[in-house]
């Protein structure tokens, strides 16, 4: 008798449990939140033609060593490849020359271009140059080499130096002699120096 009851219970459970499961699944589908496909589309919109036409690299970085032993790094927020053999245009550029003797030159500009084949970096738009020796230079355009430490301002510069201020038509920073360590900063073109001696502490 007990076996008959157990068999009947098992028999009815085999029928009832699947029906309950189906009912629960139906309820889930009915109560599930409807996905708004129209609202999701704007997040997936990609202009493939624009990407192909305006190729760009985000946060690119260039690194090398000059013939005089200075380590050079160049970083940009965005770069756009140039034509074959041409310069790549870039925005928000930061560069750094670190010489073997410990001197460091840092560069920053709104925009510019880098030509790896020609070994040239051109900066434009509020160019700022700073040296670890205490010089801070502002210029409108700077042409610098990547295979040697050589920087040339194409236009007037304003310099804040440890001993005063300098206004000049052009400025050059270069490694003067391969046999002699050190670098020179040369100003030409109507140079004006305002000497301000350092104040001595009382």
Task: Specify the CATH number for the domain of residue 166.
Answer: 2.60.450.10
Structure tokens at 138: 């502002």
In a domain, 105, yes or no: yes
Q: What is the pLDDT of residue 130?
A: 97
Of the candidates 116, 50, 111, the residue with the CA atom closest to the CA atom of residue 84: 116
Residue 9: strand, helix, or coil: helix
Of the candidates 161, 180, 162, 181, the residue with the CA atom closest to the CA atom of residue 171: 161
With bands split at pLDDT 50, 70 and 90, how would you rate the model's confidence at 131? very high
The single residue listed with the structure tokens 């920073």 is: 173
Give Cβ neighbours of residue 10 (< 8 Å, ≥ 6 apart): none
Task: Indicate the range of 20-34, 100-114, 166-180 predicted with least confidence.
Answer: 20-34
Mean pLDDT in residue range 63-76: 93
Q: Are the C-beta atoms of 103 and 138 separated by less than 8 Å?
A: no
Residue 52 has pLDDT above 60, yes or no: no
Q: What is the pLDDT of residue 186?
A: 93
In a domain, 122, yes or no: yes
Residue 121 has pLDDT above 90, yes or no: yes
Which long-range contacts link 92-99 to residues 24+ away (Cβ below 8 Å)? 93/123, 95/121, 95/123, 95/144, 96/71, 96/72, 97/66, 97/70, 97/71, 97/72, 97/149, 98/70, 98/71, 98/72, 99/68, 99/69, 99/70, 99/149, 99/175, 99/183
Domain that residue 77 falls in: 56-195
Structural domains counted in the chain: 1
Per-residue DSSP letters for 30-97? HHSPPP-HHHHHHHH---HHHHHHS--EES-EEEEE-TTS-EEEEEEEEEE--STTSPEEEEEEEEEE
With bands split at pLDDT 50, 70 and 90, how would you rate the model's confidence at 57? confident
In a domain, 18, yes or no: no
Of the candidates 154, 185, 159, 190, the residue with the CA atom closest to the CA atom of residue 172: 185
Sign of CA dihedral 120, 121, 124, 128: negative
State percent of the chain over pLDDT 90: 49
In a domain, 36, yes or no: no
Structure tokens at 28: 């889930």
Cα-based angle 133, 138, 140 (whole degrees, multiple of 5): 140
In a domain, 68, yes or no: yes
Mean pLDDT in residue range 77-100: 87
Q: What is the pLDDT of residue 44?
A: 46
Mean pLDDT in residue range 22-37: 59
In a domain, 11, yes or no: no
In a domain, 191, yes or no: yes
In a domain, 176, yes or no: yes
Mean pLDDT in residue range 125-144: 95
Q: Can you give the pTM of this predicted structure?
A: 0.70
Mean pLDDT in residue range 103-128: 93
State percent of the chain over pLDDT 70: 72
């Amino acid at each position: 008798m007990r076996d008959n009851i157990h068999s009947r219970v098992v028999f009815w459970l085999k029928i009832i449990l699947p029906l309950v499961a189906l009912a629960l699944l139906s309820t889930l589908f009915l109560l599930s939140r409807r996905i708004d496909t129209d609202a999701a589309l704007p997040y997936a919109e990609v202009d493939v033609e624009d990407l192909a036409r305006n190729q760009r690299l985000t946060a690119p970085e260039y690194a090398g060593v000059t013939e005089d032993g200075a380590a050079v790094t160049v970083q940009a927020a965005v770069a756009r490849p140039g034509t074959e053999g041409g310069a790549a245009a870039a925005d928000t550029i930061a560069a750094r020359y670190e010489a073997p003797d410990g001197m460091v030159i840092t560069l920053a500009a709104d925009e510019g271009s880098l030509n790896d084949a020609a070994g040239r970096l051109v900066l434009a738009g509020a160019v700022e140059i700073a040296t670890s020796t205490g010089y801070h230079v502002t210029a409108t355009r700077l042409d610098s080499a990547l295979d040697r430490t050589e920087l040339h301002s194409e236009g007037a510069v304003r310099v804040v130096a440890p001993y005063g201020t300098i206004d000049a038509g052009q400025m050059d920073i270069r490694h003067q002699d391969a046999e002699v360590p050190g670098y020179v900063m040369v100003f030409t073109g109507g140079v004006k120096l305002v000497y301000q001696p350092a104040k001595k502490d009382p």
